Structure 1
Amino acid sequence: MNKIDLNGRVAVVTGGAQGFGRAITERFVASGARVAIWDFDAALAEKTAKEIGGETRVFKVDVTDTAAVEQARDATLAAFGKIDILVNNAGIAGVNKPVWETDLEEWRKVLRINLDGPFICCKAIVPAMLKQKYGRIVNIASIAGKEGNPNASHYSASKAGLIALTKSLGKELAAHDILVNAVTPAAAKTAIFDQMTQQHIDFMLSKIPKGRFVLVEELAAMVSWLASEDCAFSTGAVFDISGGRATY
């Protein structure tokens, strides 16, 4: 494992209890960071924090709730003194159906968590980063946000929106040494697969030239670099990690 220097840094990872979020938390801790795991499932997050070790703290938070996010931010600042890194990872897949069969409330639920959540977290944390004149924000988007997966319009639209949010915020913060980037992974075998049909999983695999799903550790390595001082000139950018699936 290449050594990425996050010594002295404090990171918030939303949805850090499992999947991509857990792998990112593990890599951050191995790189010297202190990590606040923000997760709706506090019991699972506590188990994860105990297993990972290092300086990890758990904060139960619903990323769609502005007051809860602001409370978690204040508690994190009280515990660690600052927030250098924000990884917006919390997300859901939603039910796989074509547009005309998708329930409006299901559409809204996916957009709330996958797009409103990162917006609310950025809105809450950016002022603290501006005050310290430093920050790194990494948004976990998806290849679906570039290409649009059939029977996943809500998920695809939410991730496309997250890419656009990344580009807008990156431009707004470019002069403040606060860099905002997105990653667009292909699917990985995480708990999010439990929400998908086997047909949808097979479709996604068929699109990947490397012939396998991304490993959570591979994504965590890319995110760790984007969260470090070594990433100094890339902002508002989209970093592909789709095994050759992406065409742009």
Structure 2
Amino acid sequence: MDAAATGNGRVALVTGAARGIGLGIAAWLISEGWQVVLTDLDRERGSKVSKVLGDNAWFITMDVADEKQVAQGVAEVLGQFGRLDALVCNAAVADPRNMTLESLDLAYWNRILAVNLSGPMLLAKHCAPYLRAHGGAIVNLASTRARQSEPNTEAYAASKGGLLALTHALAMSLGPEVRVNAVSPGWIDARDPAARRAEPLTDVDHAQHPAGRVGTVEDVAAMVAWLLSRQAGFVTGQEFVVDGGMSKKMIYSE
């Protein structure tokens, strides 16, 4: 398929795109004329949402922690579209069932790091030659939890902290042809519309943010889209926090 015939001629690969922030990023890029390849472990939902997004969306199943699947997926993208201009590493395991340090299972720890940290490395490794060919860009989805934590979140925090370090390391290794940046979302209401309607956020939820509201997937998607654009050509190796100001808010119990 000729990507130029379907939009602005640029092709983006977005991982973990069957729902939430990843889906929001994919939809935003498609609205700007990108051809977007969505990947996810959830084949049924991924196929469904890609059909809803239209002709500029294409879905493939991928476990980003499996190098064979990553290599095969990238080869499929190149076979289908002949080029790759952007990589958005959003796929992550974010299990809300926090484990105490004493009960933290090594297999669980390793799976979190495999998906959240090794996955972006593997994708960068296999996408790099094609991104270089077109002056492409990578955006890694980190988290404000890379710099601040709740109790019992060691695996997730460590994976996102490592991702920030990986981001600036990749920027040095892949520049100047490829720019690499990270976006760290705070509280983003990434639930499906039905869930948001059934259990809306409270005024207190919104008011605690200096920006006056909880974030949306569109807030993150807009930042990602800018970082992938030509306008961000002098920006690489950086972290961009999208959290409504919460990480700058001094909080003490009175």
User: What's the TM-score bracket when you normalise by the shorter of the two chains?
Assistant: 0.7 to 0.9
Taking only the aligned residue pairs, the percentage that are identical comes to: 37
2:78 corresponding residue in structure 1: 77
Q: 4+ residue stretches of structure 1 with deviation over 3 A? A: 204-212
Q: 1:166 to 1:13 in 2, by over 3 A?
A: same
User: How far has the Cα of 1:206 moved from its partner?
Assistant: 9.6
Supply the distance in 1 between the matched residues of 2:24 and 2:134 (Cα, whole angstroms).
Answer: 28
Q: C-alpha distance in 1, partners of 2:70/2:107?
A: 22
Distance 1:38 1:205, change over 3 A: same
Deviations 1:187-231 (A, max 9, x none): 323369x9xxxxxxxxx9897444643200110011000111111
Instruction: Provide the residue aligned with 1:225 in structure 2.
Output: 226
Unaligned runs of 5+ in 2: 1-6, 196-204, 250-254
Q: Does 1:189 align with 2:189?
A: yes
> For residues 149 and 212 of structure 1, do their structure 2 counterparts lie closer, same or farther at Cα, with a shift above 3 Å needed?
farther
1:197 aligns with none
Q: State the Cα distance separating 1:39 from its structure 2 match.
A: 1.1
Partner of 1:110: 112
1:241 correspondence with 2:233: no
1:163 aligned partner: 164
TM-score, structure 1 normalization: 0.87
- Give unpaired runs (5+ residues) of structure 1: 1-5, 195-203
**Do 2:8 and 2:34's aligned partners in 1 also have CA atoms closer than 8 Å?**
yes
In the alignment, what sits opposite 2:179?
179
Q: In 1, Cα distance between the equivalents of 2:213 and 2:161?
A: 23
**Total equivalences in the alignment:** 231
TM-score by length of 2: 0.85
Q: Aligned ranges for residues 49-60 of structure 1 at < 5 Å?
A: 49-60=50-61
User: Highest Rg: 1 or 2?
Assistant: 2
CA gap 1:141/1:81 in 2 versus in 1, 3 angstroms: same
Instruction: Give, in whole Å, the separation in 2 of the partners of 1:206 and 1:89.
Output: 28
Say which of 114, 128, 131 aligns to 2:130. Answer: 128
